[in-house]
Amino acid sequence: MTCFMSSAIKRALHTTTRALNYESDFLLKTSINEIRNIGIIAHIDAGKTTTTERLLYYSGLTNRIGNVDNGDTITDYLTQEKDRGITIQSAAVTLPWKGKKINVIDTPGHADFTFEVIRSLRVLDGAVTILDAVAGVEAQTEKVWKQAKDLNIPTMVYINKMDRDGAGYGRTVKEIVGRLGTRAILVNFPYFVKGKDQKDVFKGVVDVVNNKLIEWNTSSDVDGREVSVSDISKESAVYTDFINAKQAMVDYLGEYNDQIVEHFFESDDYTTVDKNLLNATIRDLTIKNLITPVLCGSSFKNIGVQPLLDAIVDYLPSPTDVTPPQVIGVKNNSVPTKIDSKVGCIVNNNKNLTAALAFKVINHPNRGLMTFVRVYSGKLQPNSTIVNSRTGEKVKIGKLLVMNGENPLDVKFLTAGNIGVITGTDEIATGDTLIGHAVTKSVNGINKNETSLKLLPIDIPPPVFSVSIEPTTVSDKRKLDSALGVLLKEDPSLKLTFDDESGQSILSGMGELHLEITKDRLVDDMKVNADIGDVNVTYKETITKDVDFVEIYEDGDNENEHQYGISLSIHQFETPFHEFIQCLHETKTFNSEDVYMLDINTAIVFDKAAVPRDIEKELAKPIWTLNISYEKIINAILSGATGSLQMGGRLARLPLQNLVIYVNQWCVPDLKDMQNVSGLIKITRETINKGLNSLDDNDFTLLEPIMNVKTYVLESDVGTVSQDLMSARNANILSIEDESDAGVSAREWADNMERTFVPYDPTMQYLQKNNGVNKLVISSEAPLREMIGYLNKLRSLTKGRGIYDMQFKGMERTTGDRVKQILEG
């Protein structure tokens, strides 16, 4: 038996000099091919933050292991995260391993913070999905897995908590195949020894690729730093499982790589197939999303983390291994992008163009607003000028940083493929595209049309819960407004509206916990004195009758001249919005670049003939020569429309949704003399208000949020739970089926699940049954109003055994008594 300690682990013992050399020795010398941008995603309590703390420690970046229960972790640094032991914001850290640089984002697992996961996935190249070995694949796991796969993000799985009673590696692997719909490749599997009480004790892993048995010394004084590696003898208790796992690996990988088959036939021995060839094939198929490497460990017990780090750099892609991001131009036209193996993504065939996406804004207690960015092309430099393509404005940025949890480290630049932080500006919001010059610190050498380029924006889910909020006294108003402004910049899934009649501000969010955390931050962290109401469901209004034509034109100095003017129509719709947009794109009157989304279910559509002739001529030029950018002009119309719809409902002054505003024509004064767009905002708002005022009260109705609900219960509880859903929850039950058939997986994955080899697992009996009783899933649609507090009721009905997952389906119209019921509270 041979003992070893990796150089990275040794460095953990000498971290006093590590931080000093962090920038010069590591960050600036890493090529783009040596970068891994990964996310850690999972169900709540699967061990994401605990695992991240070990990644930091064993990479040599920290000299201690943070503990979630003690509230001293690096990545969970908000007060609420430390108090509750959960991740709320996605935290970014950068760490070294085997000459590579890993940018890690630890994301929340709670459904209320889904937006944090969405905006993190947007900038990742790969992901590690962490599963609880006792719970297996859970509802939120399936949801996040689907989000990652929808973005074609290569993913590997780490089965955590193998030390727990009831941990089932084989059962969990079967669930990965059957419920997530993927081919699992066992990179390692658990190794147990008998304890004093003859119970199995998790001690290490069997490395299937390298034919090794790896054991950890779990004494508290070594923190998992002592690891022993040995060959697997034929007399070993795990030898048979190892050979079967190796055969399964070689056979499946050989279907894609003939060299593996040739290596096997040379010796007729699965264990002699070249490990480098196996690793290269696993990497290739992982990046192509054809397989999912599976590893295991116990992060809390410090077992299995180093092999996980190895797998991250060995199997997950670099920025040059993935498809380049889609970039759109000034009129939503597609802009060419390509991947260069040395410099990364090149946008618009311009190697000097820097393009970065702001995916998160936070308010740091010492450094103020910090903007997290992913650099896609070029090089971002500190103290330089960039352009925010959403606003068209030049922005002066301060320092550039990388984050070690809450501890920022200065860097001299951020090159393509890197994730870092911009400081010194409050003019950037989540989802903004930042354009700059890769060589100089100004944008003077960039074509003005290129400063309008946009990386695809982040989709923001609609908020479905809200609270009223008012300053306790008049003197508290300024501090409250300032604090809310900071929170809205940090979290775009929060929405704030103001009711002139009541004088109340309405803050909307993704869930009850989401708003509770926001309230705690306002009161406890920001020390704001405010009266905050109870959490309520967020409703909207819509119209049931179209406004076919409305216009307002301001007269100019000459008889045939207008200052500002716009003509438009306002249309309702009831079909799913994506179907409506698809039909719109199929017409000859509109193109995709003519459609601008105001929110998830409301759009402004510009007729092809709507753009004034002077602006059309300007757009045809290679360089925009006017004082005000085209984006700012269009944004003025969008802003005017948003202002009209914000409290445009007739029944309860609620925001109007499920509308399409068709702009038939618009005009502005002489463009060369135009200095601002306030007149265009004003005329748009007045015209839409005029159209809405032409409708009767009966032409308005309420929209309420409807949720897709999956309730997981034992067969014996189906009747009781179904009855409660239909009667008390006003739910429409869609189906009742076996849990194994109800997730992402289709039925054809059941055969793959049966054929997948897994080592012996005493918990396998729970794969299909739970104590001899089938577990079923009830799929239904229900109004959110009736689902508030459902978890406590479900636990009562099922003696604590039932769980459920709920996702937003859409806003649906209500009629008659239901409208009255909602309005009366």
Residue-wise pLDDT for 120-137, tens only, equals: 788 899 999 999 999 998
Q: Is 337 annotated as a binding residue?
A: no
- 700 assigned to some structural domain: no
Cβ-contact 56, 92 below 8 angstroms: no
Q: Is 199 annotated as a binding residue?
A: no
Please give the C-alpha separations between residue 689 and each of 71, 549, 650, 652, 655, in angstroms, as whole numbers. Answer: 52, 12, 11, 16, 13
Question: Does residue 647 sit in the same domain as residue 597?
Answer: yes
- 551 assigned to some structural domain: yes
The CA-based diameter of the chain, rounded to the nearest angstrom, is: 100
Q: Is 43 annotated as a binding residue?
A: yes
Distinct helix (H) and strand (E) counts, the chain? 22, 43
End of a domain among 403, 433, 455? Answer: 455
Question: Does residue 787 sit in the same domain as residue 806?
Answer: yes
Give the 3-state secondary structure of residue 510.
coil
Question: Does residue 774 sit in the same domain as residue 662?
Answer: no
Can you spell out the DSSP letters for 733-765? EEEEEEGGGSSS--THHHHHHHHS-----TTGG
Query: Percent of the chain at pLDDT above 70?
Result: 84
Q: Is 379 annotated as a binding residue?
A: no
- 241 assigned to some structural domain: yes
Contacts of 148 (CB under 8 A, 6+ apart): 39, 41, 121, 127, 129, 155
Question: Does residue 504 sit in the same domain as residue 575?
Answer: no
- 1 assigned to some structural domain: no
Q: Is 110 annotated as a binding residue?
A: yes
Contacts of 756 (CB under 8 A, 6+ apart): 173, 174, 177, 183, 184, 248
Q: Is 172 annotated as a binding residue?
A: no
Q: Is 45 annotated as a binding residue?
A: yes
Amino acid at 15: T
pLDDT band of 256, cuts 50, 70, 90: very high
Question: Does residue 399 sit in the same domain as residue 510?
Answer: no
End of a domain among 503, 537, 571? Answer: 537
Question: Does residue 528 sit in the same domain as residue 614?
Answer: no
pLDDT band of 680, cuts 50, 70, 90: very high
Q: Looking at residue 576, what is its pLDDT? A: 66
Q: Is 415 annotated as a binding residue?
A: no
Residue pLDDT, tens place only, 153-176: 999 999 999 999 999 999 999 999
Least trusted range by pLDDT, from 9-13, 27-31, 187-191, 820-824? 9-13
Please give the C-alpha separations between residue 161 and each of 46, 109, 203, 769, in angstroms, as whole numbers. Answer: 8, 16, 12, 22
- 699 assigned to some structural domain: no
Question: Does residue 760 sit in the same domain as residue 807?
Answer: yes
Q: Looking at residue 89, what is its pLDDT? A: 46
User: What's the whole-number mean pLDDT along residues 235-254?
Assistant: 96
CA distance 402 to 58: 19
CA distance 536 to 278: 55
Domain count, the chain: 5
Question: Does residue 619 sit in the same domain as residue 580?
Answer: yes
Q: Looking at residue 825, what is its pLDDT? A: 72
Question: Does residue 741 sit in the same domain as residue 632?
Answer: no
List the beta strands (DSSP E) in 478-539: 495-498, 505-509, 530-532, 536-537
Please give the C-alpha separations between residue 472 and each of 494, 496, 507, 532, 536, in angstroms, as whole numbers. Answer: 21, 18, 16, 9, 20
Distance between alpha carbon 649 and the CA centroid of its chain, in Å? 32
End of a domain among 289, 315, 341? Answer: 315
- 220 assigned to some structural domain: yes
- 88 assigned to some structural domain: yes
The angle formed by the CA atoms of residues 351, 420 and 450, to the nearest 5 degrees, is 35
Cβ-contact 393, 429 below 8 angstroms: no
Instruction: Calculate the CA dihedral of residues 740, 742, 743, 744 and round it to 10 degrees.
Output: 110
Q: Is 107 annotated as a binding residue?
A: yes
Q: Is 288 annotated as a binding residue?
A: no
Among residues 751, 776, 753, the alpha carbon closest in space to that of 764 is found at 753
CA distance 669 to 504: 37
CA distance 131 to 296: 9
Q: Is 42 annotated as a binding residue?
A: yes
- 667 assigned to some structural domain: yes
Q: Is 109 annotated as a binding residue?
A: yes
Question: Does residue 31 sit in the same domain as residue 172?
Answer: yes
The CATH number assigned to the domain holding 732 equals 3.30.70.240
Structural domain that includes position 126: 7-315
CA distance 750 to 773: 19
- Return the HEC string of 89-111: CCEEEEEEECCEEEEEEECCCCH
